[in-house]
A and B are shown apart, each in its own frame.
Chain A
Amino acid sequence: MSSQAITLTTVRQDARPVSERIHDWVVTVDHKKLGILYIVYGLVFLMLGGIEATIMRIQLIVPHNHFVSPQVFNRMFTMHGTTMIFFVVMPLLFGFGTYLIPLMIGARDMAFPRLNAFSFWMTAFGGVLLYFSFIGGYGLYGAGNAPDVGWFAYAPLTARAFSPGHSTDFWTLALLISGIGSIGTAVNFITTILSMRCPGMTLGKMPLLAWLNLIMGGMVILALSPLTAAQIMLSIDRYLGGHFFDTQAGGSAVLWMHFFWIFGHPEVYILVVPAFAFVSEIIPVFSRKPIFGYPIMVAATVCIGFISFSVWAHHMFTVGMNSYGNTFFTVTSMIIAVPTGIKIFNWLGTMWGGKIQFKAPMLFCVGFVFQFLIAGLTGIMLATSPFDWQLGNSYFVVAHFHYVIVGAILFTIFGAFYYWFPKMSGRMYNEALGKWHFWLFFVGFHLTFDFMHIPGMLGMPRRIYTYEPGRGWEIWNLIVTIGVIFQIFGVLAFVINLLWSFWKGKAAGNDPWDAWTLEWSTTSPPPDYDFAVTPAVRSRRPLWDRKHPEDPDWKYE
Chain B
Amino acid sequence: MKRSEHARGLLHRAAGIAVLLGGVLLAAKLCYGAPPDPGQIPSIFKPQSTPANSIFHLSLLVLAITGLIFALVFSLLVYVIVKFRKRDIDDASEPPQVYGSNQIELAWTVIPILIVLVLFLATARVIRSIQDAPKPSGAIEVIAIGHQFWWEFRYPALGVVTANELHVPVGDASNPTPTFLTLLSADTDHSFWVPRLAGKTDLIPNRVNHTWIDPLQTGLYLGQCAQYCGTQHAKMLLRVYADSPEQFNQWVQEQKNPANNNDAVADGRRIFETTACVNCHAVSGTIADGHFGPDLTHLMSRETIASGAALNTRENLRAWLQNPDSIKPGSLMPAMQLNEKDLDALTAYLLTLR
Interchain Cβ contacts under 8 Å between A and B, 13 examples? A155-B189, A254-B207, A289-B96, A296-B109, A318-B201, A320-B183, A341-B112, A345-B105, A348-B73, A352-B84, A370-B77, A461-B193, A478-B31
Within 8 Å by CB of A323, from B45, B128, B188, lies: B128
Q: Chain B's nearest CB lies how many Å from the CB of A167?
A: 13
Asked if B20 lies at the interface with its beta carbon under 8 angstroms from chain A, I say yes
Number of interface residues of A (CB under 8 A): 103
The reply to whether A386 and B55 form a contact with Cβ atoms under 8 Å apart is yes
Q: Which of B300-354 contact A (CB under 8 A)?
A: 329-330
* Interchain CA distance A287-B77 in the complex, whole Å: 13
Q: Which of B5-63 contact A (CB under 8 A)?
A: 13, 17, 20-21, 24-25, 28-29, 31-32, 36-38, 40-45, 52, 54-55, 58-59, 62-63
Chain A residues contacting B124 (CB-CB under 8 Å) are 327, 330
- B77-120 vs A: 1/0 string, CB under 8 Å? 10011001110001000111111110011001100110010011
* Nearest neighbor of A326 in chain B, beta-carbon distance: B127
The reply to whether B112 and A338 form a contact with Cβ atoms under 8 Å apart is yes
Q: Which of A88-96, A169-177, A466-474 contacts B (4 or more CB under 8 A)?
A: A466-474
Q: Which residues of B contact A (CB under 8 A)?
A: 13, 17, 20-21, 24-25, 28-29, 31-32, 36-38, 40-45, 52, 54-55, 58-59, 62-63, 66, 69-70, 73-74, 76-77, 80-81, 84-86, 90, 94-101, 104-105, 108-109, 112-113, 116, 119-120, 123-124, 126-128, 130-132, 183, 187-189, 191, 193, 195, 198-202, 204-207, 209-210, 222-235, 237, 329-330
Within 8 Å by CB of B84, from A296, A351, A391, A469, lies: A351
Chain A residues contacting B120 (CB-CB under 8 Å) are 330-331, 334
* Interchain CA distance A475-B94 in the complex, whole Å: 50
Chain B residues contacting A432 (CB-CB under 8 Å) are none
Q: Which residues of A contact B (CB under 8 A)?
A: 69-71, 74, 148, 150, 154-157, 162, 247-248, 250-254, 287-290, 292-296, 318-320, 322-323, 326-327, 330-331, 334-335, 337-338, 341-342, 344-346, 348-349, 351-358, 366, 369-370, 373-374, 377-378, 380-381, 384-394, 439, 443, 447, 457-459, 461-472, 474-475, 478-479, 482, 548, 551, 553, 556-557
The reply to whether B42 and A389 form a contact with Cβ atoms under 8 Å apart is no
The reply to whether B45 and A457 form a contact with Cβ atoms under 8 Å apart is yes
* Interchain CA distance A364-B58 in the complex, whole Å: 35
The reply to whether B80 and A318 form a contact with Cβ atoms under 8 Å apart is no
B29, B96, B120 pick with most chain A CB within 10 angstroms: B120
The reply to whether A320 and B210 form a contact with Cβ atoms under 8 Å apart is yes
Q: Chain A's nearest CB lies how many Å from the CB of B180?
A: 14
Chain B residues contacting A290 (CB-CB under 8 Å) are 97-99
The reply to whether B230 and A162 form a contact with Cβ atoms under 8 Å apart is yes
Q: Chain B's nearest CB lies how many Å from the CB of A554?
A: 12
* Nearest neighbor of B228 in chain A, beta-carbon distance: A463
The reply to whether A467 and B234 form a contact with Cβ atoms under 8 Å apart is yes
Within 8 Å by CB of A157, from B37, B105, B132, B228, lies: B228
* Nearest neighbor of A158 in chain B, beta-carbon distance: B188
The 9 closest A-B pairs by CB, nearest first: A389-B199, A459-B42, A464-B234, A320-B209, A293-B100, A247-B205, A472-B41, A377-B66, A459-B195
